[in-house]
Structures are given as structure tokens and as C-alpha cells.
Amino acid sequence: MIRNTVRALIVQDDHLLSIKKERPGIGVYYALPGGAQEPDETLEQALYRECIEELGVSIVESKLLCIREYISYNHEYSFIMKEVHSLDFIYLCKTEPIHTDLNSIQADIGQIGIEWLPISKIRESLIQDDESMRMYKFPRTLHDFYIEYFLTEKVELCKSIRF
């Protein structure tokens, strides 16, 4: 079965809002906030719900940035999430300015924090060939997306039509 998931790309003051996770066999890594769409829920409703649950933050504006396909057995964390096939809808999101510490209402499995990562440091981390030298560890699919978005700037806002 293929499931739909939503991800929020939230940038404020040249920092990216990220979920900090830790899992046995992986260690600490960072992910975009988001999760699975529930029955009878639109993608945007799922996005807003997930951001409230994981970040305690309300989204005030969102635009679909891109769609990414994820098939778990093709990736390095397949031992955690076996037989997952999802379409990730990544949204560029805006919130009211956030000046306080963030707290999850309902944290994901393995979530140990919420951090603002400096985009300049993300860029430095992305160009490191040796993974052990990277300041930030991202799952490979997210690492590749960040290269396209933050380094080569190939990702453009998705043109969508509402029905």
C-alpha cells in the first residue's frame, strides 16, 4: 500500500526548523516535521495537524514545493521501516515569527528535540564527502533533497491546480 505523507520546510532568519531524532543503529539525525495523512483528511489538514503535534506551531501559509517518492527498501534506514512506500508532499511553510522554545504535543518515535539549524551550516555539511565529518546527519533522501534545494537550487515551487 502506498501512503501519503506531508513534510514542512520552515525557514526563519536563515535557519531551518528540524526534528531531531535518535534511533538505535543510526544515532542522532535530523528530519523535516510531518507525517502520514489520515483518512478523510486533506494533505494541508495533515500538514497543519502534524506541525501542531510535532512542533507546537501553527502554519499560517503553505505552498506545495515538490513531491518525493520514498520506497524504504532502497534506503539506509530500511531496517527500521520495512516495506514502506510513500509519496512525500513537501510544503514550503510560513508561521508567525517564532521567538520561544518549541515543544511537541505528540512527538514522533525517536524524536528527542526540535532545533533551528543554520542554513549556512547545513550547506557546509552537505558538501562533506566523509559522512563522519558532517555537522548534521540527514537520511539520504533528505540529504539529496537539501542538495537540490539549498546548494543547486533546482527545486522550484510546484504549480498546482485545485479541483
Between these two residues, 100 and 144, which has the higher pLDDT value? 144
Q: Where are the alpha helices (DSSP H) in 70-131?
A: 119-126
User: What's the whole-number average pLDDT of the chain?
Assistant: 86
Q: Each residue of 106-153: pLDDT tens digit?
A: 777 788 999 999 999 999 999 988 877 788 988 888 888 899 999 987
Specify the pLDDT at position 35: 93
Query: For residues 12 and 116, is the Cβ–Cβ distance under 8 A?
Result: yes
The amino acid sitting at 161 is I
Q: What is the mean pLDDT of residues 78-92?
A: 78
Task: At 125, give phi and psi (nearest 5°).
Answer: -65, -40
Rg over CA atoms, the chain: 15
Residues of the chain with pLDDT > 90: what percent?
A: 53
Specify the pLDDT at position 157: 72
Say if residue 10 is exposed, middle or buried (CB neighbours under 10 Å; 0-12, 13-18, 19+): buried
Between these two residues, 156 and 119, which has the higher pLDDT value? 119
Task: At 88, give phi and psi (nearest 5°).
Answer: -95, 120
> What gap in Å lies between CA 153 and CA 10, rounded to an integer?
16
Specify the pLDDT at position 75: 58
Q: Which CATH superfamily is domain 2-119 in?
A: Nucleoside Triphosphate Pyrophosphohydrolase (3.90.79.10)
Specify the pLDDT at position 163: 43
Between these two residues, 71 and 113, which has the higher pLDDT value? 113
Q: What is the mean pLDDT of residues 47-67?
A: 93
Between these two residues, 161 and 50, which has the higher pLDDT value? 50
